[in-house]
Amino acid sequence: MMKSYRRNALLAVVFFLLWLLGFATVGYSQGAKAQVIPGKFYVAPSLIKNPIQFEGSGFVSKEMVVVEMVLPQGVKIKGVKQGEDAVGLAYATADVEGNFKTAMQPLATLSWFFQVGWTVNGAPDFKEATLLTPGKYEIRAVGMASGTIAKTAMEVVAPPPEEKK
Amino acid sequence: MRIRWTVLTLALILLVGNLDGTDVQAQEKEVTFLELGDYTGPASAMCNPMQAATADYFKYLNDKGGVNGVKVKYIPMDARYEIARALSAYNRYKRDSKVLVVNCMGSSIGKAVGAVSREDNQVVLTPADGHSHALRSNVFAWGAAWADAFAAVLDWCLTDWKAKGKTGKPLIGYMSYNNAYGQDALCGGVEYAEKLGLKLLPPEFFPPDSLKHDVYLTRLADQGANYVFIGGSDPTPSNVVRGAADLGLTKKITFVTDMYGTTAIGVKLYPDALEGTIHVAYQIKGEEAYNNPFIREFWNKYQKQPINKMVEAYGTGLAWSRTFEFALRDALQRVGYDKLTRGEMLESYTRQTGLSMLGVQGSCAYSKTSRAACDEVRFYKVTGGKILPVSDWKKVPDAVSLHKWL
């Protein structure tokens, strides 16, 4: 009798561990890589014409890759609710070999780096802009079909004094 | 010892049973409508009324106990009209099998989300791009396709030209955003114009946020345009017509705005400049919208403002929410809650053909062979600061199928 209880408990532990293991099938992949170009910058109008770029490898052939900026505690982004941990910055379709290269679209730069308001006429309102808080931000590139994640970082610095004028 | 092992075993069983968030009591039945919306972005003026209507409708449903006891969880996300943000937000929910519909504020967003969710048979709602119509996949349009509505405009221009006693055929100008949406109406629209023997002048594309359009208008006027079709989401088309009025062009050119064009927003901004503007719409506009009982019931109950404060796009939100309700009911009746999958919801969407939209727009045209919410449009004219109908409902031509889609 005692042995059957121990056996049942042992089985419960084994099943529990197997269930936990099931969650480890998707996530960070050591083979996937990503980088931000440039890795360090300040938010300025020049980012519209010369946008931040992202490159990566190790994804599944032809899958959609979305590049996200993870939001540190306390950093608020216009349009992003509390509880959301990241905001998408760019996207690309990986090539046959699982590599991708993309750049932020002007609307993404305006929405997430400048956080502009928008007039009723659909024009960006820089009077309502709140520049992205300087700091280090984790960037993750996520393969939408495979769940592959590559992590990197970018640093937003304060604009130089002459830019603030 | 025996008791300790028993307690440990029971504790582990309970722990495993609860780790996925399932309460030990029966879980409330719920499905999700995910809104990849625009609340604070460039299209928010048009999107906010639609989004408000959706929130109101689901509140109404849930207050009644849901659909056959299944409540609707409405998740509004502010994508600010931006594709990467929308994809990232969708990715967070794509593994939740009870996310039955994803609504995308923007054709480009709908195209992107539709592509990544196709394998899952996710129902994706989107404004109206022709590619979705041609593919007949998981992407469903809010109304008629852009190209089909543009084709109806070409028919209207020809009829109007003849009614004015003119001979020959008019010259048609085209202005729209310099993005995928702006090109879309021409995919099928160009072919339809050729079929009618109409000459389309080289199209003019402008940035969505531009406030002045003199260069484009002047070029079209110099080429002798008799009618100019203006794409874009209000108040952009109204801005264009205002600019045309400033140039004196509204005296010799008839301007026709696209399906999200002339609304209460634009008419309030520029009532004099817009006088005489023609508007093609798949849903009722102006006074008709203010007087529609279905719209009035919801607006008065949930928005609690004078009806003339309403932007007519509120009716669009009610229409797609109503379609969701009936598709959900159909799916629950066919397979029940436990077997309700995205694929079954997609199947139910194709079974809503003929569903009445209570006068807001034509009856539902979704079917196995159509991804258009309706296949009729109506023409309106701005008269005395009001948007008044000048035609009956007209079935749109099938211009989308004339185009060679890749």
Task: Return mean pLDDT, chain B.
Answer: 92
* Cis geometry, peptide bond prior to residue B235 (ω within 30 degrees of 0): yes
Question: Does B22 contact A at CB distance below 8 Å?
Answer: no
pLDDT tens digits for range B216-271? 999 999 999 999 999 998 889 999 999 999 999 999 999 999 998 888 888 988 99
Query: Does residue A94 contact residue A143 with C-beta atoms inside 8 Å?
Result: yes
pLDDT tens digits for range B146-185? 999 999 999 999 999 999 999 999 999 999 999 888 999 9
The verdict on B166 and B69 lying in the same domain is no
Q: Tell me whether residues B12 and A16 touch, CB distance under 8 A.
A: yes
CA-CA-CA-CA torsion sign (A12, A17, A21, A23): positive
Question: Is A55 within a domain?
Answer: yes
Point out the residue among B16, B115, B208 whose CB comes nearest to the CB of A16.
Answer: B16
Token pair, residue B278, equals 């023609």
Query: Does residue A92 contact residue A143 with C-beta atoms inside 8 Å?
Result: no
The verdict on B272 and B301 lying in the same domain is no
Token pair, residue B392, equals 């009956």
Closest CA to B104 of B84, B86, B122: B86
Tally of structural domains, chain B? 2
Could you list the residue range(s) of the whole structural domain that residue B325 is in? 30-144+291-374
| Beta-carbon contacts of residue A7 (< 8 Å; ≥ 6 apart) | none
The size of chain B, in residues, is 406
* pLDDT in single tens digits along all 165 residues of chain A: 555 667 777 766 666 665 555 444 445 566 999 999 999 999 999 999 999 999 999 999 999 999 999 999 989 999 999 889 999 999 999 999 999 999 999 999 999 999 999 987 778 999 999 999 999 999 999 999 999 999 999 999 998 887 544
pLDDT tens digits for range B58-102? 999 999 999 999 999 999 999 999 999 999 999 999 999 999 999
Residue B19 has what pLDDT? 47
The verdict on B93 and B168 lying in the same domain is no
Q: How far apart are the first and last CA of chain B?
A: 71
Question: Is A5 within a domain?
Answer: no
- Grouping H, G, I as helix, E, B as strand and the rest as coil, residue A138 is strand
Point out the residue among B1, B44, B236 whose CB comes nearest to the CB of A118.
Answer: B44
Tokens 């209207």 locate to B156
* CATH code, domain with B354: 3.40.50.2300
Closest CA to B200 of B188, B208, B210: B188
Query: Does residue B349 contact residue B320 with C-beta atoms inside 8 Å?
Result: no
Query: Does residue B265 contact residue B293 with C-beta atoms inside 8 Å?
Result: no
Question: Is B165 within a domain?
Answer: yes
Closest chain B CA to residue A91: B84
Tokens 């960037």 locate to A139
pLDDT tens digits for range B337-386? 999 999 999 999 999 999 999 999 999 999 999 999 999 999 999 999 99
Strand partners, B380: B279, B389
Question: Is B314 within a domain?
Answer: yes
DSSP B172-214: EEEEEESSHHHHHTHHHHHHHHHHHTPEEPPPEEE-TT----H
* CATH code, domain with A32: 2.60.40.10
**CB < 8 Å from B in window 80-139 of A:** 80-81, 84, 86-91, 104-105, 107-108, 111-112, 117-118, 120-124
3-state SS of B260-286 is CCCCHHHHHHCCCCCCCCEEEECECCH
Residue B207 has what pLDDT? 87
The verdict on B38 and B167 lying in the same domain is no
DSSP B355-374: ---TTSBSPP--BTTB--S-
DSSP summary character for residue B122: -
DSSP summary character for residue B67: B
ipTM of the complex model: 0.84
Give contacts of B209 with chain A, Cβ < 8 Å.
121-124
pTM flag (> 0.90): no
DSSP summary character for residue A110: I
CA angle B401, B402, B405 (to 5 degrees): 70
DSSP summary character for residue B301: I
DSSP summary character for residue B70: B
Token pair, residue A143, equals 């393969």
The verdict on B180 and B264 lying in the same domain is yes
The verdict on B59 and B198 lying in the same domain is no
Give contacts of A1 with chain B, Cβ < 8 Å.
2
pLDDT tens digits for range B296-338? 999 999 999 999 899 999 999 999 999 999 999 999 999 999 9
Give contacts of A90 with chain B, Cβ < 8 Å.
84
The verdict on B311 and B233 lying in the same domain is no
Q: Tell me whether residues A91 and B112 touch, CB distance under 8 A.
A: yes
Question: Is B163 within a domain?
Answer: yes
Chains A, B: CB contacts within 8 A come to: 121
- Grouping H, G, I as helix, E, B as strand and the rest as coil, residue B219 is helix
CA-CA-CA-CA torsion sign (B234, B237, B243, B249): negative
How would residue B22 be classed by pLDDT, with cut points 50, 70 and 90? very low
Ramachandran assignment for B230, one of left (phi > 0), alpha (psi -120 to 50 degrees), beta (any other): beta
Question: Is A18 within a domain?
Answer: no
Residue B211 has what pLDDT? 83
Question: Is B13 within a domain?
Answer: no
Query: Does residue A65 contact residue A59 with C-beta atoms inside 8 Å?
Result: yes
Beta-carbon-side half-sphere exposure of residue B127 (alpha carbons within 13 Å):
28
**How many other CB atoms sit within 10 Å of the CB of residue B270?**
20
How would residue B25 be classed by pLDDT, with cut points 50, 70 and 90? very low
Q: Tell me whether residues B88 and A78 touch, CB distance under 8 A.
A: no
Tell me how far CA of residue A129 lies from CA of A109, A112, B78, in angstroms. 12, 10, 17
Q: Tell me whether residues A88 and B85 touch, CB distance under 8 A.
A: yes
Residue B341 has what pLDDT? 97
Question: Is A17 within a domain?
Answer: no
| Beta-carbon contacts of residue B297 (< 8 Å; ≥ 6 apart) | none
Tally of structural domains, chain A? 1
Could you list the residue range(s) of the whole structural domain that residue A111 is in? 26-164
Closest CA to A58 of A138, A148, A118, A131: A148
